[in-house]
Amino acid sequence: MQDNPVGSEKGLSQHHEDIFTQDASKAAGQGLAATDQYGRALIEFDRVAERRLRRKIDFCILPTVSLIYLFCFIDRANIGNAKLAGFEKDLGLTGYDYNAVLSVFYISYILFEIPSNIACKLVGPGWFLPALTVAFGICSLGTAFVHTIHSASGVRFLLGIFEAGMMPGIAYYLSRWYRRRELAFYMSLYIVMAPLAGAFGGLLASAILTLDNFGSLHTWRMIFAIEGIITIGLGLLAFITLTDRPETARWLTQEQKELAIARLKSERVATTEVLDKMDKAKTLRGIFSPATLTTSFIFLLNNITVQGLAFFAPTIVRTIYPHNSVVSQQLHTVPPYVVGAFFTVLFPFLSWRFDRRLPFFVLAPPLMITGYIMFLASDDAHVRYGATFLIAAGAFSFGALCNAHVANNVVSDTARSSAIGTNVMFGNIGGLVSTWSFLPFDGPDYHIGNGLNLATASMTLILGALMWAWMRWDNRRREKVDVDRALADLSQQQVQDLDWRNPAFRWKM
């Protein structure tokens, strides 16, 4: 290059790209690893080419998964908006009937969480996720025609079956495309749809309720019917727009397909294939990893808050502003969700830049703790309303951070699928608890519900700090292990089956 000082920067970039493409082609090959036995990458990638690939993936993948998750959450949480519009009265619900209808959803959601994510791997997310979207859209539409607690519970049970695979399925799907340090941020771009669903769902419900009728349907029935039809349409569109994996992406060049595969393999010690066959040993590695179990329990605690906000935010707002109109109460649920959405993206974005997730497990809970202390300590409506902003700011980012953390702390694709499924299953046990955290006799102050959430936020802070300390300790322990001796008598397949037990593996914090 010294002989040609005025040489084109573009030409230099192209030269680098040509060099790395040859290496990536080799690393992407079936049966070849992109790391040495110590987990060190054997290939260096061109940042310009990686950035170009990432932008293409962003444009072709993220809009679809974000939209279907938006309506997944709306179809789950719109029962809270329907409650304000007469759902309980029309179905004759009394006492704890409403809580029971909410609980039925989570029973099926929890039972089908891990099986659904395994099915997602076997069928392929490019087909499985759109099919789920159409199915739960039909369930939402069906809710518009229920007349008893039994029919409402039946439809909610089916809704739980089909929504069970959505959050972990999309998280697993994105892990087929993005690097470890990128994953939390890109997960946040679809998980942010949860707080936005709270905001947008309130606005959409308010707009729908201004209609006189939708066919033969009136009031809250219009909410379920219109939103269900939109969801079905999105699901049908997703069959066309979602690509299953890099190898089948018609919108990628051959060089970009090889780069997409090689850059994932370069982060996975002893991995010779990105999409391995289903394997019992690796499935269990994903479920019973210490990182998976601890993070999953944190997600359980956090989801008590997140799902509680989704279902009861309209009710809480009504206790704060009891004399406002129903539409005004719906609109007051929107601003806290907007703030929550901002932090849902901010914390994972910072985790990408610093390649750290556990610091945010410690930074976010104090926001929730402060919010619940404000709610419990004050009777002032404005103070309590302000508390909901802090709670939303701290709570919603854990969806992306927890899923990314369990995905990053296993090696194989099979273990990743089961780890994410386990995490979300535990999270939805928290969702089940949340349906019984704000009880009718406890209103309007809801000391039990808010006290419970104060306790879960405090426990989240403690567990996050303890996991961080343990991972640092165990990584130092692993550095003292003789990797050559530990792996000397094992075949390539046995080494891959070790997954996170491989002494060359390091916990990602």
Where residue 198 sits, what CATH number does that domain have?
1.20.1250.20
Are the CB atoms for 409 and 273 separated by under 8 Å?
A: no
| Banded pLDDT at 2 (limits 50, 70, 90) | very low
Domain annotation covers residue 504? no
Same domain (yes/no): 99, 215:
yes
Q: Residue 154: which of 164, 162, 143 has the closest Cα?
A: 143
**C-alpha dihedral sign at 6, 8, 9, 15:** negative
What pLDDT band is residue 18 in, cutting at 50, 70 and 90?
Answer: very low
Q: Do both 306 and 433 map to the same domain? A: yes
pLDDT (tens digit per residue) in 408-446: 898 888 888 889 889 988 988 888 888 788 777 877 777
Residues 360 and 415 in one domain: yes
Read off the pLDDT of each residue in 13-26 and give the average, rounded to a whole number. 46
290 cis-preceded (ω within 30 degrees of 0): no
Residue 469 counted as domain residue: yes
Contact between residue 154 and residue 100 where contact means Cβ atoms under 8 Å apart:
no
Do residues 221 and 338 both lie within one domain?
no
pTM, two decimals, is 0.80
467 domain residue, yes or no: yes
What confidence score (pLDDT) does residue 232 get?
Answer: 94
Same structural domain, 350 and 391: yes
Tell me what pLDDT residue 310 has.
62
Structural domain that includes position 396: 279-481
260-264's contacts with Cβ under 8 Å and 24+ in sequence apart are: 260/53, 260/57, 260/177, 261/24, 261/27, 261/28, 262/23, 262/24, 262/25, 262/27, 262/28, 262/34, 262/43, 262/45, 263/24, 263/45, 263/50, 263/179, 264/176, 264/179
Within this chain, do residues 296 and 192 fall inside the same structural domain, yes or no? no
Query: Which of 4-13, 233-242, 331-340 reaches the highest mean pLDDT?
Result: 233-242
> Do 285 and 242 sit in the same domain of this protein?
no
- End-of-domain residue from the set 266, 298, 321: 266
265-296, pLDDT tens digit by residue? 777 665 656 666 777 888 888 899 999 999 99
Residues 232 and 171 in one domain: yes
Q: How many domains does the chain have?
A: 2
Q: What is the mean pLDDT of residues 39-54?
A: 77
For residues 373 and 420, is the Cβ–Cβ distance under 8 A?
no
Same domain, 396 and 471: yes
